Structure 1
Amino acid sequence: MLQFEATVEDVLAGSTHTPAARSHLRRLVLDRRIHCATTAFLVAVGIRLLGSPALELTGSVVPSALGAAAVAVLVGLLSGPWARRHVEAGLRRAATKALAESGQPRRIWLDATGLGAYSPGGGTSHLDWAVIGGIEETPDHLLVRTGPVESLAIPWRTGPLDVAAFAAELRSRLSTVVGQVAVLPTIAPQDSLQFVLTEEQWVDALVWMDRRDGTLARLVRRRRRSSAAYFALPLGALLLLILTTASTTSWSGRSPSVLLGVLAGSVLIVGLAQLLIPATAEFAQRSSRRGYLALDPRPLEPTRVWASAGGVDLQRPGSWDHLEWSWITALGENRDMVILRTRTSLLAVPKAAGPIAAERFSTVAREQLAAVSGARVYA
């Protein structure tokens, strides 16, 4: 058995090492660069309006738009380092939070059937040999591939000789199970629930929980603030032009009422965009969750769960996780599902898998979570 105190660097190494994780990070960086380019375009438009009181609304619109677009492209190309630092800072904050919640120390061991891991705040996980995707050594860590997105990072500072012996034994075990197919564990209580979720069921459950715990509302508020910030400078510049030319009968041969019409139309467009933000936010959330499933389809695998005083047991082909109640942050129940949100994921249990067993599962969860500080229950 290996035991070590994990650091933020260990968590980051495990969550950013796999090809799927690196692909996801590249998409996040691209999103930030697009954000920078869009902001630059709107700022350039606002500055152009402020700096050109003689702007002809017909003759100079296209050149001005092309100039703003050129600025946006340049900023998008140059914003790569900033975007990477921004994404890395977000990952570091998430890793710091996860580390504080999972507790110390961490223990990892090998047994006859696979690899086990334990953290005081999260519980116990066990992976069969068939679902371990291999190992890799870096100067700082031994990385054990435990899923499509994540790896288990074991720092060499734990003890170079001990980690090397662990790696040698793991390689030896993995060499004997090539081609082995992972199956559901055979040990489970009689009142366990077994099911297979569809993509729509899992996404619906997650969005339902996002509505109940305020995640979707926070996303809507962020999008509204971002939308308002995007258009503040261009609209403010246009309004300033109207105010500064209100005392004249014409503005480069045009009535100020033309500008008022442009401003009114712009405000109308921004207002409609604000009204549509709740719907677009939910659409984006659903798209994001489907994107997660494309990276990690394990929530759609055959699943078996049950609840007890000690926590929730979750079995999937080749894996068995025991989640302590302190690791669960929210419980929700609607007509079709019992939904648990953990600190890192979501578990949706369809009532159709067994109405009586689902009711018992929900009852036990409610009773146990009543004693967990900060856990919430939604109807």
Structure 2
Amino acid sequence: MVGHSACRAIAFWEGDQLTLYNSAQIINGAQIAAATTLNLKPSQVRIVSTHIGGGFGSKGGQWGNMILAAIAAKMINRPVKLALTRQQMFNSVGLRQRNMQRLRISANEDGKLVAIAHETTTHAAINEEFLEPCGDCTKLMYDVPNSLISYRVVPMNLILPTYTRGPGKSTGSFALESAMDELAHALKMDPVQLRINNEPAKDPSNGKPWSSRKLVECLQEGAKAFGWEKRNPVPGQVIKGDYLVGHGVACGTYPARQRDSSARIRLLRSANVVTATVEMAASDLGTGTHTILAQTAADGLGIELSRIKILIGDSDLPPAAGSVGSVGATSFANAVNDACIKITEELIAKSGKQFFVRPTAEQLMISEKITAFETLSEAKPLPEADQYSSHSFNANFAE
């Protein structure tokens, strides 16, 4: 998938220290990749990627232009910018695989699934393998006692595919939900009811309990809001002007994950005005990281949103997860929230006072006449998180 802006990098050296201005969804990942490739220590590489310009997977990994720019800058001892053309974006930075998916489903007359097979045939490069997991949704979406999820990969003279928007989930769920609709039609059963009949009590792929799963409620509430019961269930019967009009339903899922992330908060007071700066090596590919973190800090510190400054996109800042796999907002916001709690507790301790009502960080900075204060916090997934299967679920209705 081609990003909204092409991949480009600016490299310059100061002695043995390399700075790369690069579009990177994972700031620290780009830092480690450059250091490893160039035989440097990570501390010798600085990645600056304040604005990505769109990525959706194609900028999750690092490509040759970044390394070539660094090598060229070293050779000629001056800054080098290397920007891929739009044409090069199609043959140099991965692509979405062309997957051939075959779905087979069997069920009894009551609509209870008996077996499902989801077989994917796809391609990779001749020197390396990448697999888009099209069967991920199939293995956990419905309660079915017999399942087959298989992949056949053909090496071809093409560039190596890469992660692109919703890898495996968007492509695989389209195939699965289309097959479920065809099954409902063959059974003469309501497609919503067919899905409800096969709701699993736990994750079928690993036996773990769900952290939460409200898919049945989504289907029921969505059907009610959509007016599902008023539809004509027979395909090809509703005509409006030149169009055949149909009504459809489909379900989707995506894993809910958190990754280790750190955040630093700096507070400054001038008279009775307190400002905050939040620092972390997070990234923003257009999904609102700056806004999310500012809102989180404003809520946790008791400071107006306009007095919150967000600094991200720099490997010199505290390490953080990347904007990939829907882990960014969860990981970043938890780190900032933990830092807000920590700095407030440290300010309370510094005051040496006990409070009947917990004060905010802003109130403490003013009441204790503290000019500057900062803290660093690291957020990790809860240890018990591995005991559960954590996913988001959705029900989609369309005319």
**Coarse TM-score class (shorter-chain normalised):** under 0.3
Larger radius of gyration: 1
TM-score of the pair, normalised by structure 2: 0.24
Question: Could you say which structure has the higher strand fraction?
Answer: 2
Return the TM-score normalized by structure 1.
0.25
